[in-house]
Structure 1
Amino acid sequence: MHVNYRAMLARLPDNVILIDVASGCLVDANHGAYELFGMSEQMLLTRAFVELCPPCQPDGQASAQLLATQIERALAGQAVLFEAHFLPADGREMRCEVRRLPLPPPHAHLVHARFVDVTRRVLDEELRRGQNRLLDMIARGAPLKDILDSLMLLIERQCDGVLCSVMLLDDDSVTVHPASGPSLPADYLAALDGAMIGPSAGSCGTAIYRGETVIVTDVMSAPLWDDYRALIAPHGLRACWSTPIRLDRDRILGSFTMYYRDVRAPGQDELRLIGVATHLAAIAIERTRREAELSRHRDHLQELEVLTHLVDNCLVHAFADDARGTIVIGASAGPEASVVVSVADNGAGIAPPLLPRVYDPFVTTRLGSGGSGLGLGLHVVHNIVSGVLGGTIELDSELDKGSTFRLRLPVIAPAMSRQDSD
């Protein structure tokens, strides 16, 4: 009977293992199971079933507890179907769908387990969900660093042992800076800030320079890494593949890079993921840059609006009864990355009692109006300068001699500064 059962196992197209319930040991398997786990018959059948699993499953449950529970269900006569992570000989976890069936007497002490590798299916589902999350982040205007970090971690979950990064090409088109690398050593990324692209500038700098993918299977021997080997060696990184991130055929935004701690070339799955990563990164980078450009235009328009209101205030209030007068607009560099803009007139000036209230809505600075009127200009100016542009405004005024408004504005407005840091 045993010989017949072995012959039946050998003919099955599925990956099947027989497990002894009492000992938990593997007592038989077919060729498909040996191939699935990458082990010879001697290697596989000298192991306990639990030794084919990592100590814990992704949800934190101990593998021994999971397998014991499923065996009990099988012995109770139930057809058991579950998924779990297993460890083949190469050490890379795979997710398998396992169907267990108890055998009839005289083999009631055995459980028949059929394995189907569903790793690719699970990863593909996670990749689709991750892509949708990233597109949602892009649509919502999430910070670029958050988007790229999420993208890098998504790709890293798809491939065991990979570490990913994005380098962006600077405005000078000859240097790069790290935009994301959540799993790479911080000091390594910092050392790449300002690195130059070129024909022998590691994988990243060379990929951007050439405009094509650069595959380095071992950085310890590749000539492209001669100038960077001392930088990467302490971190144990060996393989490094880099691909340009393109806006279109002629414009390169940066590069996406995959690192491994072992010597290797990319497989088809990894090449596919490189395409996914560079496509999503390009969308995120371009969207962020377009938003930044729009913000710059908005800031410029708001600065013009401030000057317009101040000049209007001079024309309407300072020179109301005399068309003659002078308005001087000046600008100079200020302290701490700021610029000082001044608007001065030699008009009527503002009465001292009105000075504390000049930025209140519907208060006029016009002499002889008793401090009342329908003016909103200076109120709008104050709100734009202090609220939107992140600056301050000061006023010096003397009756019959004129007024001077001094605006101190940061070189980079707060909204723009946040986007640049993202």
Structure 2
Amino acid sequence: MKQPNPPDALHTILIVSGPDFDPAALRDSLAARSVGVRIATRGDEALKAAQEDGISLVLLDAALAGSASLELCTRLAAAGPVLLASAHPSDEEQQAAMEAGAAGYLRLPCTPQDIVEKILIELTVRHAWPAAPDSGLDTNALEVNYHTLLAGSPDSIMLFDATRGLPVDVNRNAERLFGRSAQELMGMQLAELCPPLQPDGTPSAVAVRTLIDKVMGGEVRVYPLSLRHASGRQIDCEIRTVLLKKGALQLLHMRLVDVTGLRLAEALRTGQNQLLELIARGAPLGTILTQLVQLVESQAHGMLCSVMVLDDDGFTLRPAAAPSLPPDYVQSLDGARIGPNEGSCGSAVHRRAPVVVADIEHDPLWKNYRDMALAYGLRACWSMPIMLDADTVLGSFAMYYREVRTPRAEDERLIGVAAHLASIAIERTQREAELQRHRLHLEELVQARTLELRRAKERAEQASEELKAALEHLGETQDELVRRGKLASLGALVAGVAHELNTPIGNSIVTAGAMSEKLDALAGQLETGLRKSELARFVDAAREAEGVMQRNLERAAKLIASFRQIAVDAAGSQRQQFALDQFIVQQLVSLQAALPAPRPAVRQQLTPGLSIDSYPGPLAQALASLFENAVIHGLDGRHDGIITVGAAGHGEQDVEIWVSDNGAGILPEHLGRVYDPFFTTRLGAGGSGLGLYVIHNIVTGVLGGRIEAVSLPGKGARFTMILPRTAPR
């Protein structure tokens, strides 16, 4: 290799790469540093290129370096510096590389930036440092290239003398990172720039010694280390360190990357998740807000936070959490009023907008609280209203500082996140309190409704006895009429009357019995915790039951009084022509919305353009019953449940509508009885056995079609309604 290029000339690197090494990314990174690149893929090419002018350094892939003695490395090193890069590194190979004359050993994989940094440092060493620094480091020679390299780097860089443990050069970014001058830094050991302990509890002196020992072993990697700013603020860094050997000198090139922001962001995400978990578990509001305040305070040095909650009167603020503020100061804020000039918090709540006070001493908003705040050393306060919605304010979140300052973008983002989390916690607590107030009045309401239901049941039983007596009287009348030769006509009359009388009797008894069961269920729920919505449903059911029994008793009374045959009016459904696919989609929207968790997936297989002339009301009832049957009996709470609803043509005159599921299926011995009235496999678990019986009557009666069921145990079930395109009139 010829004489190396002068320091200010463009260097050219020869990369000798094998199949395990991709030089493309490295070439781009070197080009960005004004370093040229030549590529060789064979040993003879490399030897020929190394003899040419302009090659400053060779980066040799260990795969092409020869046998265990690395012959190619030895021949190239005779002409100039060689860095050996190995995709399968080992200590033995590193030792062989040094014996073969290599200037350095790179353990792959590592980033192109790591390799570029090693190359640039090696070039700097070759062209800027004296060959035999017997008397120490020549700083004048160092200033030519290395100091310029440090000064122009966008990173914080320090050059340490490993023997003395002191920096010999730092750049301006390192001064900014530590808040210290270069002269001050070069008189301090690395451990003195750290807090006494690292975050894991390791003494910083031990952590620094461990780092140096690893670097002395020739590793190029990233080391986490917590440093300390001149103000005492902790700086979390990642240190990328390279060992430079030049004669008796052992220097550490350190690139310091401040990752404090990343660590804080990760801590904020973790803290948010923990807070949401506390909220979900129903932890006390004070505990949640205190943890929220401490989380936010950990994000910024010197920040003191507080949460104020708006009282029920809508005008008074109460402290909810302020663990770092002086207790006497917090106590003095209890009962503060909101208004246009009531400090940061009172003004923010009044305006429903953020309020930033950078200097409490001179801001007019603090005229009523200035002396008190200054007495405790508080100089700045920013407050964000805690909003439930655009019109409802719950309180305020405030950030205090002991120096005059204005918020940065990250401060504004942080206070916004804090206010949002506080609103979630406060809203949940208020809703729980409201629910508790409702629970206190539930027992009285339940008792009142229970008394009404019992009276209704007694009236129904009395009417039943009267009806039975009437039936007995009718029987006697029938016997008399038979004796008079009118048996045939009277038999028909009695049968009709008996049938009609049994209907209101049965309805009243069933309704009274059902409401008795609902009453027992409600009493059980009262012991475990009753929701307002459940009580509302019970009240609605009780009112409906009362109406049903009232109507049936009136109907029975009329039968007894007049002994006339009564025809029950069935309110006919409206008939119309409609698009079947659109109709089913509309029904599924409401059915899916009402599903309890876990909700099954609902798939649609609808043929567009199908139109039928039928009764949409009964059809909707049948479809809803089949859908609910699939959810309750087929899937029964499965988390991977799938319900498929489809519609298609069935010949020229009919259409078919099916509902299928991937649930438990129906046993063969039960499949033939599914349409029998009162047949159910969930007796005592909420099933009446009338669902499919009613569906069968609707399909075969009103809609004029038929229904079919297909099922295999464990493979789900499919119910298909085959309906005429034009329903019978």
Give me the TM-score of the superposition, normalised by structure 2: 0.42
Correspondence for 1:240 among 371, 375, 381: 381
| Match of residue 126 from structure 1 | 267
Correspondence for 1:187 among 319, 328, 351: 328
| Match of residue 229 from structure 1 | 370
Correspondence for 2:253 among 83, 108, 112: 112
SS of residue matched to 1:57: coil
SS of residue matched to 1:145: helix
**C-alpha displacement of 1:243:** 1.0
Correspondence for 2:207 among 54, 60, 66: 66
Distance in 2 (alpha carbons) for counterparts of 1:273 and 1:34 = 28
Correspondence for 1:11 among 132, 138, 149: 149
| Match of residue 329 from structure 1 | none
Q: Work out whether residues 306 and 384 of structure 1, in 8 Å CA contact, stay in contact via their aligned partners in 2.
A: no
Pairs within 5 Å for 1:172-211: 172-211=313-352
One-letter amino acid matched to 2:148 = A
One-letter amino acid matched to 2:146 = M
| Match of residue 321 from structure 1 | none
| Match of residue 180 from structure 2 | 39
| Match of residue 406 from structure 1 | none
| Match of residue 57 from structure 1 | 198
| Match of residue 170 from structure 2 | 29
Structure 2, gaps ≥5 residues long: 1-128, 130-137, 458-518, 531-729
Distance in 2 (alpha carbons) for counterparts of 1:199 and 1:140 = 37
Task: Report sequence identity in percent.
Answer: 48
String of CA shifts for 1:17-62, please: whole Å, max 9, x gaps: 1122233222111233223223332232232222221222223322
Over 3 Å counting, the alpha-carbon distance change for 1:24 and 1:192 in structure 2 is same
SS of residue matched to 1:243: strand
Correspondence for 1:149 among 286, 290, 299: 290
Q: Work out whether residues 24 and 50 of structure 1, in 8 Å CA contact, stay in contact via their aligned partners in 2.
A: no
Count of aligned residue pairs for this structure pair: 334
| Match of residue 256 from structure 1 | 397
Instruction: Tell me which of the two structures has the higher relative contact order, counting C-alpha pairs closer than 8 angstroms and 6 or more residues apart.
Output: 1
Q: Work out whether residues 161 and 249 of structure 2, in 8 Å CA contact, stay in contact via their aligned partners in 1.
A: no
Pairs within 5 Å for 1:20-419: 20-106=161-247, 108-306=249-447
Distance in 2 (alpha carbons) for counterparts of 1:25 and 1:33 = 14
**C-alpha displacement of 1:233:** 2.9
One-letter amino acid matched to 1:172 = D
SS of residue matched to 1:190: helix
Q: Work out whether residues 37 and 87 of structure 1, in 8 Å CA contact, stay in contact via their aligned partners in 2.
A: yes
| Match of residue 359 from structure 1 | none
**C-alpha displacement of 1:5:** 4.3
Structure 1, gaps ≥5 residues long: 317-376, 390-422
One-letter amino acid matched to 1:242 = S
Question: In terms of Rg, which structure is larger?
Answer: 2
Distance in 1 (alpha carbons) for counterparts of 2:428 and 2:210 = 50
Distance in 2 (alpha carbons) for counterparts of 1:33 and 1:233 = 36
- More helix, by proportion: 2
**C-alpha displacement of 1:273:** 0.1
Distance in 2 (alpha carbons) for counterparts of 1:211 and 1:136 = 28
Distance in 1 (alpha carbons) for counterparts of 2:156 and 2:295 = 30
One-letter amino acid matched to 2:379 = R
Distance in 2 (alpha carbons) for counterparts of 1:35 and 1:237 = 27
String of CA shifts for 1:336-362, please: whole Å, max 9, x gaps: xxxxxxxxxxxxxxxxxxxxxxxxxxx
SS of residue matched to 1:237: coil
Q: Which 10-residue stretch deviates more, 175-184 or 135-144?
A: 135-144
One-letter amino acid matched to 2:306 = S
Distance in 2 (alpha carbons) for counterparts of 1:20 and 1:302 = 81
Distance in 2 (alpha carbons) for counterparts of 1:43 and 1:268 = 32
String of CA shifts for 1:310-338, please: whole Å, max 9, x gaps: 8999999xxxxxxxxxxxxxxxxxxxxxx
Over 3 Å counting, the alpha-carbon distance change for 1:127 and 1:388 in structure 2 is closer
Distance in 2 (alpha carbons) for counterparts of 1:67 and 1:80 = 15
**C-alpha displacement of 1:232:** 2.3
Aligned-pair Cα RMSD in Å? 3.1
SS of residue matched to 1:109: strand
| Match of residue 3 from structure 2 | none
Distance in 2 (alpha carbons) for counterparts of 1:211 and 1:198 = 11
**C-alpha displacement of 1:307:** 5.6
String of CA shifts for 1:88-129, please: whole Å, max 9, x gaps: 234322111012222122264322211001111111111111
Give me the TM-score of the superposition, normalised by structure 1: 0.71
Distance in 2 (alpha carbons) for counterparts of 1:163 and 1:155 = 9
Q: Which 10-residue stretch deviates more, 1-10 or 191-200?
A: 1-10
Over 3 Å counting, the alpha-carbon distance change for 1:263 and 1:219 in structure 2 is same
Q: Which 10-residue stretch deviates more, 296-305 or 262-271?
A: 296-305
| Match of residue 39 from structure 2 | none
Distance in 1 (alpha carbons) for counterparts of 2:444 and 2:210 = 69
Q: Work out whether residues 10 and 31 of structure 1, in 8 Å CA contact, stay in contact via their aligned partners in 2.
A: no
Distance in 1 (alpha carbons) for counterparts of 2:231 and 2:407 = 16
SS of residue matched to 2:157: strand
SS of residue matched to 1:161: coil
One-letter amino acid matched to 1:59 = D
String of CA shifts for 1:125-181, please: whole Å, max 9, x gaps: 111111122222222222222221111111111111111111011111111101111
String of CA shifts for 1:225-262, please: whole Å, max 9, x gaps: 22212322332221111111111221111100001112
